[in-house]
A and B are shown apart, each in its own frame.
Chain A
Amino acid sequence: MNVRKLIAWLALPFALVNSASAAPNKSAADRSGLDAPAPVILIRNATILTVSHGTIDKGDILIKDGKIAAVGSNVKAPSDAQVVDATGQFVSPGIIDCHSHIAVDGSVNEGSVSVSSMVNIADVIDSDDISIFRDLAGGVTTANILHGSANAIGGQTVVIKLRWGQPAAKLPFEGALPGIKFALGENPKRSNFRVPGGADRYPATRMGVEETIRSAFTEARDYKKAWDEYNKRVAGGEKNVIPPRRDLKLDPLVEVLEGKRYVHAHCYREDEILMLLRVAKEFGFHVQTLQHVLEGYKVADEIAAAGTGASTFSDWWAYKVEAYDAIPYNAALMTKRGVVVSVNSDDAAEATHLNQEAAKSMLYGGLTHDEALKLVTLNPAIQLGIDKRVGSIDVGKDADLAIYNRDPLSAYAVVEKTLIDGRVYFDRVKDISGRAALEKEKKDLLGKAAKKPEPEKKPDEKKTGEKKPEEKKPEAKKPEDMPKPPQADAGGVQ
């Protein structure tokens, strides 16, 4: 479909090269202060879109210890509180992106096997990925970082907060249940990703996808039984019991069976959606979210009955056969049938305007303002099991907020500030005013590099002031979500 796909796909193999250059807005000075206690902040005189209990005109929000301490009119604040005058501005809960691949170092797909549950995206979080900052500047505060969709059962996933400037270890959302990516349809059966000269990989049909999942869970069930048996005997005081052999592939599936790990299942067609819900029922696990779920509107009642969430695109379609019946009314129709729906990005650039994408559900299907805003705030929080912490503006919740210059459900809205845990991680005015200094710093560095006496050999290291040659321009081409990246990546994300 589009260019942004290409960016996502091409950018990944080059991530290592790019990360060598200096990223903006993250000087040592900016990093310092993140270890200090969160300041007391009073956001004053804003239109507050609480999402949970309506809109407050000319309201205040008091933030203490990173939490929302008070919301309402004329909130009293301690004298040392930093005051943010938000007159004429709108405060929304921070945007939550339920399907993201930012901050991943290298490939998102371990595509060599049909069940890759042994790998974990949390192991390869790259806190220097510029996409973190760009999405933050789009009001995003939390993202569900998923493995790709090359496998019926993919890798383990992690929810992060976009704490730009913090080390990778500080990004994961504390206490959020980890997940695992499943994928149905064209990607795991590799309809669009044949590797030239390579052998076909099972599964190659939707029937095979079902059986891949069923046999993996059959194994996992037996494995769990063996461990339960072992633990019971040990607990009963038996000595010298030989434990079952650890299986890193099956461990996360056992967690799924025990409800300790969420299933986020990439899917498109109505038939495969129902297939997964049947398999889940058979093995007694819950499908937490269906991802993309572009034909979800056809089986919305069944999805609602299963208590499964749906995380979809606003208006993407026709980039492959299983996306040909996609409709922009999907989010609204599923919402009306009782499904908890979110609108996600699957793409770093798309995430920067998720507020606008949510707004489209007011046009396509007639959702109310609150319902539309929930698609990118409270609903994804519910889907990720973090709604006690984030997703609405309520006392006691994390102070994860996006401040816009106007109603965020508009293509004209611009983010002024983004706060996470009560800290301002993005400030538009500050960002703009710092650009000249960064530009100068870059020029000076390039000047120094150019003066180096010895000739540089590697083209990649040339600092000629020219554009990096490997940065292929996506605009003019558009390899869709398809197989651009190397073999390990062949599998697509969306």
Chain B
Amino acid sequence: MNRRYYFCFAAALSLSCACASSAQTATDYAITHAKVFTLAGPPIEDGTVLVHDGKISAVGSAINIPAGAQLIDAKGLQVYPGLFDPVTQMGLSEISAVRSTVDTTETGSFNPDLVAATAILPSSAHIPVTRAAGITEVVAAPASGGFDSGGESNLVGGQASAIHLAGWSIEDMAINKRAAMVIGWPAIETRTFDFTTFSIKEKPFADVKKEYDKQVNQLADYLEQARHYAQAMQSSTNNFQRDTKLEALAPVVRGEMPVLVFADDQRQIRDAVDFCDKQKLKMILAGASQAWKVKDLLRSKSVPVILGPTLAAPSEEDNPYDRLLTQPEELRAAGIKFAFGSFDNSFARRLGQQAANAVAHGLAYEEGLKAVTLYPAQIFGLDKELGTLEAGKIANFIVTNGDPLEVTTEVRYLFIKGQLISTDNKQKALYEKYLNRPKPAR
């Protein structure tokens, strides 16, 4: 116990060191005698991970430890890449019921110029709580949920940002501020909840379908405008009126920035995939509770999928009770790349649990592990820097006392950008405070 507290203290110190001044040389580390799950090859028994200048400098079994490196004897412990949660509102929402603390969703239907990184609060209490569960990086996605969406359809919600879960400022944290453009695919709903009258509104199917088609057409028109705009930008004339929204869409229509499309039911998914195919957009599907119904399409168009919270009820009453838990293996067998996402802040720490439940329902263990590490990195094009333990990658990894997907496993050490980061957080502090509360006088 003492030993652990010592390390907590050391970790807190090193955090301040790491961030206090970038001019200071970063500490080198050597994690030794661990079982190392690189996810780039078979696990290494009695392995060593070397960290230099924020990067992994070596991984292996018989490695010389450079002088001056801080040693962490991890005998009996295991090393894994840090977990990667690909859809969250991290830093954008603190207390979801309190509007003043929520910056997830802007008003209006088209907001491509908004960037999540702008509103991410580096000191959010969610960040240390989340990383205590072994999550080292996330994508914070605007308009991906949140209480304040007000029922307004946000067709283009803004740009999602990939961030490390440590840093004094967003500049320390940013991996890619413009990781993807969020699109909320419209839904056909004959019954909706009306917030102005607080009642359920019913509309004829034909009307709703018309509305749906209108929204899809609007989106197509908008992208068409963006395409013309992008052409104008490339021509040297400079003879066009600047438009920040269309400018933000230029990398999307050029196929450089992926679109993160939120869609769940099969018709939504099918329409979204066809749409992105015709528009030549790089699509990532998010949510996808009925992806199993459109497997062939997803595979043929090579659309990667970020599965929404899988510890949830199946979307249809007559689905098998374990529909969301067996779907991951079904998608894998169909050759579809997928990752798990929490789509949340306070439940982000259940990311590993989601993967474990899929493993319990047929997914191979290593696939489950990769679906919360390597695959999300691949989906966002970050796998050259993250996702596995290989020399040259950013040193985001965890040292645990067991399987990181299991609910009872403890994260002993956590590294982000090569620095030992504390797993202390608000909740642990409250626990320790009240654990020591004296018996009240009677």
Interchain CA distance A481-B196 in the complex, whole Å:
18
Closest-CB distance, B309 to chain A (whole angstroms): 5
CA distance A486 to B316 in the complex (A): 22
A412 nearest in chain B by CB position: B360
Considering only CB atoms and an 8 Å cut-off, how many residues of chain B contact the other chain?
85
What string of 1s and 0s marks CB contacts (under 8 Å) between B249-286 and chain A? 00000000000001111111000000000000000001
Could you tell me the distance in whole angstroms from the C-beta of A478 to the nearest C-beta in chain B? 4
**Contact indicator B198/A486 (Cβ below 8 Å):** yes
Instruction: Check if A459 sits within 8 Å of B205, measured CB to CB.
Output: yes
Cβ of B343 under 8 Å from chain A: yes
Closest residue of chain A to B308 (Cβ to Cβ) is A475
Give the CA-CA distance A486 to B431 in the complex, in Å: 38
Interface set, chain A 293-333, CB cutoff 8 A to B: 297-298, 300-302, 305, 315-321, 323-329, 333
Per the bound structure, the CA–CA distance linking A411 and B353 in Å amounts to: 6
Chain A residue at minimal CB-CB distance from B313: A349
Cβ contact within 8 Å between B407 and A359? yes
B359 interface residue (CB < 8 Å to A)? yes
Asked whether any CB of chain B lies closer than 8 Å to the CB of A208, the reply is no
Q: Are B430 and A412 in contact (CB under 8 A)?
A: no
Docked complex Cα distance between A161 and B374 (Å): 44
Q: Are B144 and A476 in contact (CB under 8 A)?
A: yes
Q: Please name the residue on chain B nearest to A128 by beta carbon.
A: B317
Which residues of B are found within 8 Å of A3, using beta-carbon distances?
A: 145, 308-309, 312, 343-344
Question: A319, A468, A472: which contacts B316 (Cβ < 8 A)?
Answer: A468
Residues on A with C-beta less than 8 A from B149 are 477, 479
Asked if residues A479 and B147 are in contact (CB atoms below 8 Å), the reply is yes
Interface residue A166 (Cβ < 8 Å from any Cβ of B): no
Interface size on A, residues (CB 8 A): 95
Residues of A within 8 A of B343 (CB): 3, 475-476, 478
* CB of B124 to closest CB in A, whole Å: 10
Q: Which residues of A contact B199 (CB under 8 A)?
A: 486-487
Would you call B190 and A469 a contact (CB within 8 A)? yes
Check if B62 is an interface residue, CB within 8 A of chain A: no
**Complex formed: what's the CA distance from A21 to B356 in Å?**
32
Is the beta-carbon distance between A134 and B318 smaller than 8 angstroms? no
CA A326 to CA B125, docked complex, whole Å: 12
Q: Do A487 and B198 contact each other (CB < 8 Å), given the known contacts A327-B427, A411-B407?
A: yes
Asked whether any CB of chain B lies closer than 8 Å to the CB of A55, the reply is no
A-B contact count (CB 8 A): 239
Q: Does residue B200 face the partner (Cβ distance < 8 Å to A)?
A: yes
Looking at B27-35, B69-77, B89-97, B413-421, the stretch in contact with chain A turns out to be B89-97
A458-483 contacts to B, CB under 8 A, are 459-460, 462, 466-483
Query: Please, how many angstroms separate the alpha-carbon atoms of A302 and B193 in the complex?
Result: 42
Give the complex CA separation of A131 and B314 in angstroms: 10
A493 adjacent to chain B (CB < 8 Å): no
Max chain B Cβ within 10 angstroms of own Cβ: one of A196, A413, A476: A476
Whether B126 pairs with A318 at a CB distance below 8 angstroms is: yes
A-facing mask of B207-230, CB < 8 A → 1, else 0?
Answer: 010000000000000000000000
Determine how close the nearest CB of chain A comes to the CB of B200; give it in whole angstroms. 6
Q: Is A160 an interface residue (CB 8 A)?
A: no
Residues of A contacting B144 with CB < 8 Å? 476
B439 within 8 A of A: yes
- Nearest 5 CB-CB pairs, A to B? A475-B308, A459-B205, A473-B264, A411-B356, A320-B97
Binding site for B on A (CB under 8 A): 1-4, 7, 10-11, 13-14, 18, 21-24, 130-131, 133-134, 137, 186, 191-192, 195-196, 198, 297-298, 300-302, 305, 315-321, 323-329, 333, 348-350, 352-353, 356, 359-360, 362-365, 409-414, 431-432, 435, 438, 442, 459-460, 462, 466-487, 490
Known: A318-B94, A348-B313, A471-B315. 17 other contacts (CB 8 A): A2-B346, A196-B196, A196-B197, A198-B198, A321-B98, A326-B427, A329-B427, A363-B409, A411-B357, A431-B321, A470-B191, A473-B315, A475-B287, A476-B184, A476-B264, A486-B193, A490-B198
Interface of B with A (CB < 8 Å)? 94-98, 125-126, 129, 144-147, 149, 184, 187-193, 195-200, 204-206, 208, 262-268, 286-287, 289-290, 308-309, 311-318, 320-322, 343-347, 349-350, 352-353, 356-357, 359-361, 405-410, 427-428, 430-431, 434-435, 437, 439-440, 442
